[in-house]
Structure formats: structure tokens, C-alpha cells
């Protein structure tokens, strides 16, 4: 990507078991897992999942927390998930995701309608938690 506009590159989620988290995001959420083989072989620090061509979620193991020294207090972020991450997707993927979560007995919220977001008003949205307690919102526009 050569476009120099400001974009979201990645979000790091703390997880207990990066391989299990990658499986969840791949199988239940429908995202492409990256670096799983390399992580299992000890070649990389964590796996990721791809949201789109320019954004990923890194699935960092809680055991990495002591190495988080980039800014004062970073180590204390371990185990404190963000409030939520919102994924916007086409309507058919939205419906398919909700069905996959139901198949796996993943609790989901009711559907909200007409919420404002980064792209305007979303027609529908719902929330769920991943196995590590991170909250995700999923919505579709138009």
C-alpha cells in the first residue's frame, strides 16, 4: 500500500492461547490466520489474523507482558482488553458470522439498528466476546 493517508494498521489483543485464538478468529469469525505455523515453531512472537488487505489483529500471548517496555506502564496493559473493536463487513458476511457464532454457542447480543460509526449510519450491529474476553462489535452499512 503506497497511499500515505492515516489508516488503522493493527490492533494487539492479549490472549491466553494464541493458537486457540487464531483458530477462533479463523473458524468462527472467518478471518485469515497469519503466522500460525511460524508461531507454533517458535519463529515469531505471536500469530495474527487479517481483517482486510491493510489491517490485522495481532494475538499476543499474556506471557509477553514483561517484555512490553516501549513506554512506561505498558506491561500493566496485559489482561486489560480494550472496550471493544468494531468490524464492518458486507451484509452477507455479517449474517454468516452470526450463524457461525450460533453454531459454536458463542453468546451474542441482540441486534441494534441505525448506530452511527466511522462510515455513517450502520443498518445493524451486534456484540460478542472472543474466548479471551475481548469484546467485538460487528456491523454492516447500507
pLDDT digits (tens, 9 = 90+) for 62-100: 888 777 766 666 667 666 656 789 999 999 999 999 999
What local confidence, expressed as pLDDT, does residue 1 receive? 45
| Dihedral over alpha carbons 126, 24, 21, 76 (to 10 degrees) | 10
The dihedral built from the CA positions of residue 73, 74, 78 and 84, taken in this order, carries a sign that is positive
Low-confidence ranges of the chain (pLDDT < 70): 1-4, 69-75, 77-82
Asked if 109 contacts 128 with a C-beta cutoff of 8 angstroms, the reply is yes
Take residue 124 and report the three cell numbers written for it.
445493524
Non-local (6+) Cβ contacts of 4 within 8 A are none
CA distances from 94 to 30, 63, 66, 104 (A): 10, 33, 37, 16
What local confidence, expressed as pLDDT, does residue 80 receive? 66
Amino acid at each position: 500500500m503506497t497511499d500515505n493517508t492515516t489508516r488503522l494498521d493493527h490492533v494487539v489483543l492479549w490472549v491466553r492461547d494464541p493458537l486457540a485464538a487464531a483458530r477462533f478468529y479463523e473458524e468462527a469469525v472467518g478471518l485469515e490466520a497469519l503466522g500460525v505455523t511460524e508461531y507454533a515453531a517458535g519463529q515469531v512472537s505471536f500469530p495474527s489474523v487479517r481483517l482486510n488487505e491493510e489491517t490485522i489483529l495481532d494475538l499476543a500471548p499474556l506471557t509477553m507482558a514483561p517484555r512490553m517496555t516501549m513506554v512506561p506502564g505498558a506491561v500493566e496493559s496485559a489482561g486489560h482488553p480494550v472496550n471493544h473493536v468494531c468490524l464492518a463487513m458486507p451484509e452477507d458476511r455479517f449474517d454468516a458470522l452470526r450463524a457461525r457464532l450460533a453454531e459454536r454457542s458463542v453468546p451474542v447480543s441482540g441486534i441494534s439498528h441505525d448506530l452511527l460509526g466511522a462510515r455513517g449510519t450502520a443498518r445493524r450491529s451486534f456484540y460478542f466476546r472472543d474466548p479471551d474476553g475481548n469484546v467485538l462489535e460487528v456491523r454492516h452499512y447500507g
